[in-house]
Amino acid sequence: MSAVRLLARRELQDSVRTYWFLVYSGVFVVGGLLLMVLGGAQSTVLGYRGFARAIAGLMHLALFVVPLMALFPAASALAGEREVGTLDYLMAQPVTRRQIFAGKWLGVWGAVVLALAVGFGSTGFVATLRGVSPALVLGLFVFTVLLATAFASLGLLLSAASPSARRANSIGITVWLVFLTLGSLGVMSAFIRWGLPEWVLTGWALLNPIEACRLAVLPLLDSDANLLGPVGAALFASLGRGGLIAAATASLLGWTALGLLAGSRLFQNEER
């Protein structure tokens, strides 16, 4: 077995053993099923759209929780080992720093995807039983995974740059809060207050990974773009459904690439 696979497997095992894995999986299972029950009640009035709104609710839960779910274990992955002195011992073995970085990332990413699969799997199963398209559930899962991937990469970048897990997690929470609070509504307030040009608003919406994920997913749920909000609706009108999904996907992949490239470079060039 290659060093990367060994390291990834160990990271995955360590992550799955921790309480956060159970907590996040539980949040998704309970939250998702609760939303399905509520959606089911609405469906007697609204039909299929009731379940679609329940799925949209699940998506908003994911937008809130998934970034944290990926950030915390990733931010602790290198910095935590550095803090307790185990990273030096690992780096004294016949592995390169690039392999350590890749193994850590794969392990954290695998654990997050596993937690999402458990949460989304149970909810998605109920949703498909009630008539929601499996393709829709799969689409939601894929974009949630892309969001988790971006934040896992950013988390590992913070981990490579921080001397301790606490520092990395503190910066991670700040990053998460910035992206969360400066969603389309936050930027729209600034837009109105300071009269910012429209491209700032739409550009930020696409650059913000949480907002980008929302913009990619909601057109899958609602072809009329009613759930997108004003900024999303403007982007939808200018880019079209496919263009909006493609741009949002590119944003998420871009954050992933930024986190991985910058983090890997930082870790390799770290002076010790």
Partner 1 sequence: MITARSLTKRYGEHVVLDSLDMDVPRGQRVALLGLNGAGKTTLLRCLLGLSRFDGSLTLDGLAAGSGSEGRSVRAQVGYVPQQPPRYDFRLSEFVEFFCRIRGCPAAGAERILEDLGLSLATDGGKKLRELSGGMLQKALLAVAMGSGAPVLLLDEPTASLDPSARRDFLNAVRTAPSDLTLLFASHRLDDVEALADRAIILEAGKFAFDGSLEELWRRTGVERLARSDGSDAPPVLEDILARIIRDAEPGRDTEPPAEIENFDPGPRLYVENDK
Q: Where on the chain is the footprint of partner 1 (CB under 8 A)?
A: 1, 3, 6-7, 10, 14, 84-86, 88-97, 268, 271-272
CA dihedral in degrees (69, 73, 79, 83; nearest 10)? 120
In the complex, the smallest distance separating the C-beta of residue 14 from partner 1, rounded to whole angstroms, is: 7
Say how many CA atoms lie within 13 Å of 254 toward its Cβ: 13
The four Cα atoms 108, 111, 115, 116 give a dihedral, to 10 degrees, of 60
Nearer of residues 85 and 197 to partner 1, judged by Cβ? 85
Residue 262 to residues 14, 158, 203, 254, 258: CA-CA distances in angstroms?
A: 25, 10, 22, 12, 6
Nearest to partner 1 of 60, 97 (CB atom): 97
CB of 95 to partner 1, least distance (A): 6
Lookup result for tokens 């794969």: 106
> Is the CB of 101 or the CB of 120 nearer to partner 1?
101
Provide the minimum distance between the beta carbon of 206 and partner 1 in the complex, in angstroms, as a whole number.
Answer: 37
Among residues 102 and 231, whose Cβ is nearest to partner 1? Answer: 102
In the complex with partner 1, the residue whose CB is nearer, 91 or 173, is: 91
Least Cα distance to 120 among 15, 252, 225, 28 occurs for: 28
d(CA 93, CA 84): 17
Instruction: Indicate the DSSP class of residue 163.
Output: S
Please state the closest distance from residue 97 (CB atom) to partner 1, in A. 5
Residue among 7 and 168 whose Cβ is closer to partner 1: 7
In the complex, minimum distance from the CB of residue 105 to partner 1, in angstroms, rounded to a whole number: 17
For the CB of residue 75, give the shortest distance to partner 1 in the complex, in Å. 17
List b or e across 245-263, with b for residues whose CB sees 16 or more CB atoms inside 10 angstroms: bebbbebbbebbeebbebb
